[in-house]
Amino acid sequence: MTLALHGIGVSRGFALGRVHLLTRGKPEVIEYAIPRPYVAEEVERFQNAVAEAKAQLKAVRARIPDNVPADIASFIDTHLLMLEDSSLTVAPTTLIRERQCNAEWALKTQRDRLIRVFDAMNDPYLRTRRDDVDHVVDRILRVLLSADDEAASTQGDGRLEGRVIVADDLTPADTVLMQHQGITAFVTEHGGPLSHTAILARNLRIPAVVGIRNARSSLRDDETVIVDGEQGVVLTAEDDLVVAHYRHRQRAKRQERALLGKLKTAPAVTRDGVRVALHANIELPNETHQAMEGGATGVGLYRTEFLYMNRFDAPEEEEQLECYRQVVGALDGHTVTIRTLDLGADKQVDGGGGTGPIATNPALGLRAIRLCLHDLALFRPQLRAIMRASALGPVRMMIPMLSSLHEVRQVLRLVEETKQALRDEGHAFDPRMPVGGMVEVPAAAVSARLFSRLLGFLSIGTNDLIQYTLAIDRIDEQVNYLYDPLHPAVLQLIFSTIQAGQQQGIPVSMCGEMAGDPRYARLLLGLELTEFSMHPSAILEIKKIIRDSHAGELRDLARRVLNCTDPDEFPELMSLLAH
């Protein structure tokens, strides 16, 4: 009998292999007092542990080949940077001195403070960065407690070759190490599609399923399983027919990947001549190389939040300008769309607290453009930096979480004021730089026709639009099963936004995860979306679907989907759209 365990598929593909149960648990931390004469020694013990954690991560990074995408190494670099941050290196030593407590307890206390700030963040992607805090703290604790690191201890001994790792959770460093040891897939009890480990699995093309709460108790060490990263299911391989089916799918996938590489320079044009722009989503300047290597025609979403995090003060105008200059230069004439700050009032994650009390429901609170309009001292330097960057190449500025025409007018007035100030100071900028808005609040989608009269472009942020429309938090494991990009209300909002742009003659793009998901590409083409922005690794697969499609035929099918009132007919229509 075949056992099926269902979770969240975060890296597409299939794998067949024997289970390796990773039984490493969380380090147990207890508090005990340090006599005053020994406090300095305890501080030194903590500092030595941080140094050892850095050395371990640097050793992992050194094993990453030079020819892999830059953002794979950047995950390890992120953890190394966190080990330089005062919130994890200075704050615990202060606690040791003030409370005369042991290093482990001081670190745990500081970790809890940071996690509370991350948990209060409104952006699902940024909230999952709490995992990075956990991973870095866990590594320091293991050094302090002299705990074994199984992932590191098996390095090079061949024990993980062809294995399916089943664990509570994995760090990016674990994932990189295990990939070098030849693992075929991994399954975790925790995690979500936005965690660094999940993103890394997609980049490394390791099939992965996360969020299977009983995985370690349900699967036996050394038994053979099938990991289906597309369906988010793990199957025990006891049925020969099931095994044969997946082996056939594996061979087909390998052939498909080989063919995709040939499409890098091919245009994204449908069989009936509709040209589609395929842009990349990035968050660090060094990711532009991967975007262009992946065949992107520009950057449709440059997240700027990491300029503001893990620090006490906001970045100065010149610091921001330098980052934007790097991106514009690397794109060599292709357009970059820079999104203005999309954090809440809790933006400072440095252990010093935010700008005010944590909101009861931060997703509905003072965040994104609301925060920027509330705190112009925060917003003006970014406006100036983005506009000055526009003198260096094609730049668009995108405003997140717009919900009213009043906000749009406020932003445009500030843009005009900034232009005048830059003229007076003699700074160069593009006076025609497009200013657009993200449609991620249902009110913005309903008002898209009004917004399009004032803005230069619209971009649909499906991640937030779906969860706001359906009133669910997609990283809450108790309700994320309700997260449905195909919900009729969501599709109607997407279509009405696209229509609003067409009627006003302005571009409409989509930069949420839905844009990079092959399951929805034909439907979106049928809804007349012609500008997609996604993770660079998804571009070639979406391009192939576009080149194999006839947009006119898809438009007819998409209208039938929008007008479908029979739940039994819907799967059949989606099946027609998928082929």
The Cα 303–Cα 113 span in angstroms is 25
| Tokens at 358, concatenated | 């944590």
| Tokens at 114, concatenated | 């940071």
**DSSP states of 149-210 as a string?**
-HHHHTTTSSTTTTEEEEES---HHHHHHHHHTT--EEEESS--TTSHHHHHHHHHT--EEE
Dihedral sign of CA atoms 492, 495, 500, 506 in order? positive
The Cα 413–Cα 417 span in angstroms is 6
Which residues are within 8 A (CB) of 161 and not within 5 positions of it... i.e. 6 or more apart? 181, 182, 183
Helix, strand, or coil (residue 458): strand
| Tokens at 54, concatenated | 């850095």
The Cα 520–Cα 529 span in angstroms is 11
The Cα 236–Cα 224 span in angstroms is 6
Work out the number of other CB atoms within 10 angstroms of the CB of residue 549: 21
Which residues are within 8 A (CB) of 423 and not within 5 positions of it... i.e. 6 or more apart? none
Residues assigned a catalytic role: 196, 511
| Tokens at 34, concatenated | 């340090």
Dihedral sign of CA atoms 206, 212, 214, 218 in order? negative
**Range list of β-strands (E), 428-518:** 435-439, 458-460, 508-510
Dihedral sign of CA atoms 428, 432, 437, 443 in order? positive
261 half-sphere exposure, CB direction, 13 A CA radius? 5
The Cα 76–Cα 505 span in angstroms is 43
